């Protein structure tokens, strides 16, 4: 299809950012450094970067005529064959720029989609990415056709006729609806797997890409999930059981990393994967403290989390239930803090935060203690007596708790179980259960 990886081998890229009033040059260069990492992740080599100062975006060419003319000279001189914009271009802007520069132009969303499609390993991730790509491509078909003809060597080759475009649009829409059906089937299976996890206390890792989430999962659970310096190493969530010494076990889930301006198509596409965030009992918001700009990244992650958990009343656990998902802010890479930043001043600025190094293990004891404290707030051990005939309540208890003991006492089933406070409340109001908090004598 047209939307397969657009990147070619040996691509030499130029990065373009725009500084508008309200941001600083420093911020823009930091953004471009991040864009450079994204470009690497997509397989392109960056040979030049430029930031254009403007008072506002140019509707036709994004960067303005003068800058465009300058780029048109630099590009052949430096054998650049790809221009990457740090922002999203409208279909018209992208076309105009390509016409002037005669090389392929991609924007931030296309780049991220491209990386995701390279990284997607499971069927679910591949389908989610393809839906996002097709949805993004639909209003841009004319331009993508021109991409193709340019790659085929025919610069200036005309795109397909209107009828062909219509046919293609219809095919893409059909493909999207087919993929959505496939995804539903897969999600149904995933939901089943999830039910089995309901009995455990679920801790979910969330954070900016490259913060060290997978490294921490590996450190705490002794597993070997892929963790590396590439952006977006993780696209599929992985859950592992963690059994701390002297503490109760919990399930730890690694999730997809976030980034500034994460394309909304992708957030929507990865909704099912992000369910792990929605359904968490506790979130660990992991922050890379070794890089400047951590405050900005914290804000980005909070915003994406708000969008994911939102729609539920600013983050209630379930519709109707108030309160945010409890979150521990975790500063990682303490072994590599930049000059002028110490664990103490991070904690002073963010009360309740924990500072760790997933690489060396420093601070992980403190983190486990903080998790344990949250778990004790939420999980409770109780002895629950339910009439043996009340199958509904018994089933509810079995599905939502870890049953430590069960025995029949005449006509009554007696359980000792550990479960969430709110599930205990539901059991209490479901049947004629008799509950006493604490362990059996
Ligand atoms: N110095 C140092 N490096 C770390 C630490 N934790 C992780 N890293 C490195 O940071 C990079 C990213 O780690 P990952 O665990 O893959 O990060 P992630 O958050 O899972 O990233 P994505 O899956 O791409 O979103 C890797 O190169 C790790 O080796 C740490 O405590 N100290
Ligand atoms: Mg990861």
Q: Give the pLDDT confidence score for residue 365 in this predicted structure.
A: 95
pLDDT at 123 over 50: yes
Q: Report how far apart the first and last C-alpha atoms of the chain are (Å, whole number).
A: 67
Range name among 187-191, 332-336, 379-383, 431-435 with the lowest pLDDT average: 187-191
- The closest-lying atom of ligand 1 relative to the alpha carbon of residue 217 is 15
Q: Give the pLDDT confidence score for residue 160 in this predicted structure.
A: 60
**What is the 111 CA–ligand 1 centroid distance (Å)?**
21
The residue whose CA is least distant from atom 28 of ligand 1 is 228
Partnered with residue 412 across adjacent β-strands are 387, 409
Give the residues surrounding ligand 1 with Cβ less than 6 Å away: 207, 209-215, 227-229, 231-234, 257, 290, 332-333, 335-336, 357-359
pLDDT at 156 over 80: no
Identify which ligand lies nearest to the alpha carbon of 335: 1
Mutation probe of ligand 1 site: the residue of 212, 234, 336 with most atoms within 8 A of C-beta: 212
pLDDT at 270 over 70: yes
Of 259 and 225, more confident: 259
- The closest-lying atom of ligand 1 relative to the alpha carbon of residue 229 is 27
| Assigned token pair, 381 | 């051990």
- The closest-lying atom of ligand 1 relative to the alpha carbon of residue 358 is 31
**What is the 315 CA–ligand 2 centroid distance (Å)?**
24
Confidence of residue 317 (pLDDT cuts 50, 70, 90): very low
Q: Give the pLDDT confidence score for residue 237 in this predicted structure.
A: 78
Of 372 and 276, more confident: 372
Taking domain 200-362, whether its CATH number is 1.10.10.10 is answered by no
What is the percent of the chain with per-residue pLDDT over 90, rounded to a whole number? Answer: 46
Q: What does each C-alpha distance from 432 to 245, 258, 328 come to in angstroms?
A: 37, 46, 37
Q: Write down the pTM of the prediction.
A: 0.82
Range name among 109-123, 329-343, 410-424 with the lowest pLDDT average: 109-123
Give, for 387, the enclosing helix (H) or strand (E): strand 379-387
Q: Which residues contact 291 (CB under 8 A, 6 or more apart)?
A: 297, 338
Pairwise CA distance, residues 250 & 220, whole Å: 11
pLDDT in tens, 77-87: 999 999 999 99
Residue ranges in 152-201 assigned as alpha helix (H): 162-197
Identify which ligand lies nearest to the alpha carbon of 332: 1
The owner of tokens 């590396």 is 228
The residue whose CA is least distant from atom 24 of ligand 1 is 232
| Assigned token pair, 439 | 């362990």
Q: Tell me the mean pLDDT in the region 289-298.
A: 92
Between strands 282-288 and 238-242, the pairing is unpaired
Q: Where in the chain is the domain with CATH 3.30.70.240?
A: 379-437
Alpha-carbon dihedral angle through residues 16, 265, 22, 57, given to the nearest 10 degrees: 50
Q: Give the pLDDT confidence score for residue 346 in this predicted structure.
A: 95
Q: Tell me the mean pLDDT in the region 160-174.
A: 80
Taking domain 379-437, whether its CATH number is 3.30.70.240 is answered by yes
Range name among 4-18, 128-142, 252-266, 410-424 with the lowest pLDDT average: 4-18
Ramachandran class of 101: left when φ > 0, alpha when ψ lies in -120 to 50, beta otherwise: alpha
pLDDT at 246 over 80: no
pLDDT at 294 over 50: yes
Q: What contacts 24+ positions apart, CB below 8 Å, involve 222-228?
A: 225/254
Q: Give the pLDDT confidence score for residue 221 in this predicted structure.
A: 92
Q: Give the pLDDT confidence score for residue 407 in this predicted structure.
A: 94
Q: Where in the chain is the domain with CATH 3.40.50.300?
A: 200-362
- The closest-lying atom of ligand 1 relative to the alpha carbon of residue 254 is 20
Residue 25, class by beta-carbon neighbours within 10 Å (0-12 exposed, 13-18 middle, 19+ buried)? exposed
Tell me which residue of 160, 181, 156 sits closest to 169, measured CA to CA. Answer: 160
Winning range, highest mean pLDDT, from 259-268, 345-354, 419-428: 345-354
- The closest-lying atom of ligand 1 relative to the alpha carbon of residue 231 is 24
At 63 the three-state DSSP class reads coil
Confidence of residue 289 (pLDDT cuts 50, 70, 90): very high
Q: Give the pLDDT confidence score for residue 138 in this predicted structure.
A: 86
Between strands 379-387 and 412-420, the pairing is antiparallel
The residue whose CA is least distant from atom 32 of ligand 1 is 333
Of 271 and 408, more confident: 408
Winning range, highest mean pLDDT, from 79-83, 155-159, 356-360: 356-360
pLDDT at 228 over 70: yes
Q: Tell me the mean pLDDT in the region 90-111.
A: 91
Give, for 5, the enclosing helix (H) or strand (E): none
pLDDT at 4 over 50: no
Cβ atoms within 10 Å of 325's Cβ, excluding its own: 19
Q: What is the mean pLDDT of the chain?
A: 85
Q: Give the pLDDT confidence score for residue 49 in this predicted structure.
A: 95
Q: Give the pLDDT confidence score for residue 297 in this predicted structure.
A: 93
Q: Give the pLDDT confidence score for residue 150 in this predicted structure.
A: 59
**What is the 37 CA–ligand 1 centroid distance (Å)?**
14
Confidence of residue 198 (pLDDT cuts 50, 70, 90): low
Q: Tell me the mean pLDDT in the region 249-259.
A: 90
Identify which ligand lies nearest to the alpha carbon of 41: 1
The residue whose CA is least distant from atom 21 of ligand 1 is 210
Q: Give the pLDDT confidence score for residue 408 in this predicted structure.
A: 94
pLDDT at 181 over 90: yes
**What is the 176 CA–ligand 2 centroid distance (Å)?**
28
pLDDT at 1 over 50: no
Q: What are phi and psi of 275, to 5 degrees?
A: -55, -30
**What is the 323 CA–ligand 2 centroid distance (Å)?**
28
The count of C-alpha atoms lying within 13 angstroms of the C-alpha of 339, restricted to the half-sphere facing its C-beta, is 0
Identify which ligand lies nearest to the alpha carbon of 231: 1
Q: Give the pLDDT confidence score for residue 35 in this predicted structure.
A: 94
**What is the 414 CA–ligand 1 centroid distance (Å)?**
47
Confidence of residue 316 (pLDDT cuts 50, 70, 90): very low
**What is the 356 CA–ligand 2 centroid distance (Å)?**
17
pLDDT in tens, 397-438: 988 888 889 999 999 999 999 888 888 988 988 878 889 888
Ion ligand 2: residue ranges with CB closer than 5 A = 213-214, 233-234
Residue 277, class by beta-carbon neighbours within 10 Å (0-12 exposed, 13-18 middle, 19+ buried)? buried
Taking domain 11-163, whether its CATH number is 3.40.50.11060 is answered by yes
Identify which ligand lies nearest to the alpha carbon of 209: 1
Q: Where in the chain is the domain with CATH 3.40.50.11060?
A: 11-163
What is the percent of the chain with per-residue pLDDT over 70, rounded to a whole number? Answer: 88
Confidence of residue 235 (pLDDT cuts 50, 70, 90): confident
Cβ atoms within 10 Å of 358's Cβ, excluding its own: 26
Q: Tell me the mean pLDDT in the region 91-98.
A: 90
């Amino acid at each position: 299809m047209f939307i397969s990886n657009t990147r070619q081998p040996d691509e030499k890229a130029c990065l373009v950012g725009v500084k508008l009033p309200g941001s600083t040059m420093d911020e823009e260069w930091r953004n471009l450094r991040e864009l450079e990492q994204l470009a690497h992740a997509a397989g392109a080599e960056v040979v030049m970067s430029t930031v254009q100062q403007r008072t506002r975006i140019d509707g036709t060419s994004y960067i303005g005529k003068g800058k465009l003319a300058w780029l048109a000279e630099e590009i052949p001189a430096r054998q650049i064959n790809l221009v990457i914009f740090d922002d999203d271009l409208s279909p018209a802007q992208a076309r105009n720029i390509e016409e002037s520069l005669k090389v392929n132009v991609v924007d931030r969303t296309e780049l991220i989609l491209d990386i995701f499609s390279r990284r997607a390993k499971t069927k679910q991730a591949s389908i989610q990415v393809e839906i996002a790509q097709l949805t993004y491509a639909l209003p841009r078909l004319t331009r993508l056709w021109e991409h193709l003809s340019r790659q085929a060597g025919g610069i200036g080759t005309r795109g397909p006729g209107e009828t062909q475009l219509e046919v293609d649009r219809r095919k893409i829409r059909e493909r999207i609806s087919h993929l959505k059906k496939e995804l539903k089937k897969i999600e149904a299976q995933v939901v089943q797997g999830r039910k089995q996890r309901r009995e455990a206390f679920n801790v979910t890792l969330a954070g900016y890409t490259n913060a060290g989430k997978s490294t921490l999962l590996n450190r705490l659970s002794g597993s070997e999930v892929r963790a590396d310096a590439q952006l977006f190493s993780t696209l599929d969530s992985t859950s592992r059981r963690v059994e701390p010494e002297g503490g109760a076990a919990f399930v730890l889930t690694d999730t997809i990393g976030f980034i500034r301006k994460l394309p909304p198509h992708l957030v929507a596409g990865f909704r099912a994967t992000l369910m792990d965030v929605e359904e968490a009992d506790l979130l660990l918001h992991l922050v890379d403290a070794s890089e400047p700009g951590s405050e900005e990244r914290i804000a980005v992650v909070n915003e994406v989390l708000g969008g994911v958990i939102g729609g539920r009343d600013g983050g209630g656990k379930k519709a109707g239930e108030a309160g945010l998902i409890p979150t521990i802010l975790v500063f990682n890479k303490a072994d590599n803090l930049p000059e002028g930043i110490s664990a103490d001043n991070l904690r002073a600025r963010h009360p309740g935060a924990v500072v760790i190094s997933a690489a060396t293990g420093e601070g992980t004891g403190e983190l486990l203690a903080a998790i344990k404290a949250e778990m004790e707030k939420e999980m409770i051990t109780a002895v629950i007596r339910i009439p043996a005939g009340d199958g509904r309540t018994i089933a509810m208890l079995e599905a939502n708790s870890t049953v430590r003991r069960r025995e029949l006492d005449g006509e009554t089933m007696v359980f000792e179980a550990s479960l969430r406070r709110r599930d205990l409340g539901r059991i209490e109001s479901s049947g004629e259960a008799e509950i006493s908090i604490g362990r059996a004598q």
